[in-house]
């Protein structure tokens, strides 16, 4: 019996070495299809690349991530539908674009909601961001955290925008989201909602006069080739949300999900820093490429904020009242910590 116990003990020890954290026994070979709108060199693309590296490392090479940058598989809303159907596995997009799935996501796009990225991080990483992410499960989506895209700014090919009145009459491409349409119509522009992959051609052919995006998107998308004027309106801060197809997620073992969750958490920290470092560089590059840059004075920003207050009030009323109160309370809490 003593010999049998020794043999069994040895077998158990051997099993322990084979199952570090039980991961290697459960992780199978997978290829995850990750589609997104920006170029590979954009901070969004760099974050996706880092995520892919981390997944491969953490899975011992069994799980790989195939990247589809630059809208190769369609625009954001088309990609979300593909996730829900399970034909694409994951994406990252402006959180506000999920308003069609859960209307409270539109609150992220309220004009002038955040004053700086730290406030946004506190809100998205806190109870409010988690609460919204959890509402996606019934929509066949899984939220994996929030990335940074930065503050959106206005560009156009017609004239410098140095005051509110200069926006009047400009045809501005906006996101396919009701709040953006109302926002720029309220500022006196003519809003033209278009998928991002169609934007460069629309600018080049002057179907639209301008667009609004963070500096990093403007630079990596080569909009300086077709846009002359950039104005730092900083009208909306865009947290982006990383989402996964729940149809695919439900087929993964717990250890496989753990790999993805841990990789997403680490990639989030990396991506946010890369994005914020890249903004200053992008602005310098745009200037060197011949764009005329305009910094609006505080009093003009205040005029813009006052002008669009009806938009804030309208869309805040459309969301759940308790959720709106929670959002503003968390923003104020984050602001008080400065």
Task: Return the SS3 of 283.
Answer: helix
Other C-beta atoms lying within 10 Å of the C-beta of residue 106: 22
Set out the domains of the chain in order of their start, with CATH numbers: 28-336 (3.40.190.170)
Q: Where does the chain show beta strands of DSSP type E?
A: 30-35, 63-68, 90-94, 141-151, 153-156, 171-174, 190-193, 210-213, 229-232, 237-245, 292-295
Threshold 0.75, pTM exceeds:
yes
Find the helix packing angle between 298-307 and 309-318, rounded to 10°: 50
Report pLDDT for 13: 41
pLDDT under 70: residue ranges of the chain: 1-25, 338
Distance in angstroms (rounded) separating the CA atoms of residues 100 and 108: 13
The angle subtended at Cα 11 by Cα 6 and Cα 13, nearest 5°, is 95
Report pLDDT for 177: 86
- pLDDT tens column, 239-272: 999 999 999 999 999 999 999 999 999 999 999 9
- pLDDT tens column, 103-160: 999 999 999 999 899 999 999 999 999 999 999 999 999 999 999 999 999 999 999 9
The token pair at 146 is: 């929030």
Q: Which of 310, 271, 264, 270 is nearest to 143 (CA)?
A: 264
List CB contacts of 282: < 8 A, sequence separation 6 or more: 215, 216, 218, 219, 220
């Amino acid at each position: 019996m003593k010999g049998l116990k020794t043999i069994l003990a040895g077998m158990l020890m051997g099993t322990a070495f084979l199952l570090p954290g039980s991961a290697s026994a459960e992780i199978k070979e997978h290829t995850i299809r990750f589609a997104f709108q920006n170029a590979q060199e954009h901070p969004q693309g760099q974050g996706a690349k880092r995520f892919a590296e981390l997944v491969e490392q953490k899975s011992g090479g069994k799980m790989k991530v195939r990247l589809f940058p630059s809208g190769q598989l369609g625009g954001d809303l088309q990609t979300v539908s593909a996730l829900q159907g399970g034909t694409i596995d994951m994406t990252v997009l402006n959180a506000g674009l999920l308003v069609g799935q859960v209307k409270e996501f539109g609150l992220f796009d309220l004009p002038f909601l955040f004053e700086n990225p730290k406030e946004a991080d506190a809100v998205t990483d806190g109870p409010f961001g988690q609460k919204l992410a959890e509402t996606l499960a019934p929509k066949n989506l899984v939220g994996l955290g929030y990335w940074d895209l930065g503050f959106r700014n206005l560009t156009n090919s017609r004239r410098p925008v140095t005051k509110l009145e200069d926006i009047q009459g400009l045809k501005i491409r906006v996101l396919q989201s009701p709040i953006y349409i109302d926002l720029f119509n309220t500022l006196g522009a003519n809003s033209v909602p278009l998928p991002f992959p169609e934007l460069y051609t629309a600018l080049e052919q002057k179907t639209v006069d301008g667009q609004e995006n963070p500096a990093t998107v403007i630079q990596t998308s080569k909009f300086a080739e077709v846009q002359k004027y950039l104005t730092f309106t900083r009208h909306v801060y865009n947290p982006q949300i990383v989402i996964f197809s729940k149809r695919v997620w439900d087929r993964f073992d717990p250890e496989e999900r753990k790999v993805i969750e841990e990789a997403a958490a680490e990639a989030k920290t990396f991506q946010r820093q890369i994005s914020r470092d890249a903004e200053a560089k992008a602005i310098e590059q745009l200037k060197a490429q011949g764009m005329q840059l305009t910094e609006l004075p505080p009093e003009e920003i205040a005029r813009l904020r006052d002008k669009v207050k009806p938009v804030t009030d309208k869309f805040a009323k459309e969301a759940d009242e308790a959720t709106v109160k929670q959002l503003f309370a968390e923003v104020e809490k984050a602001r008080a910590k400065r």
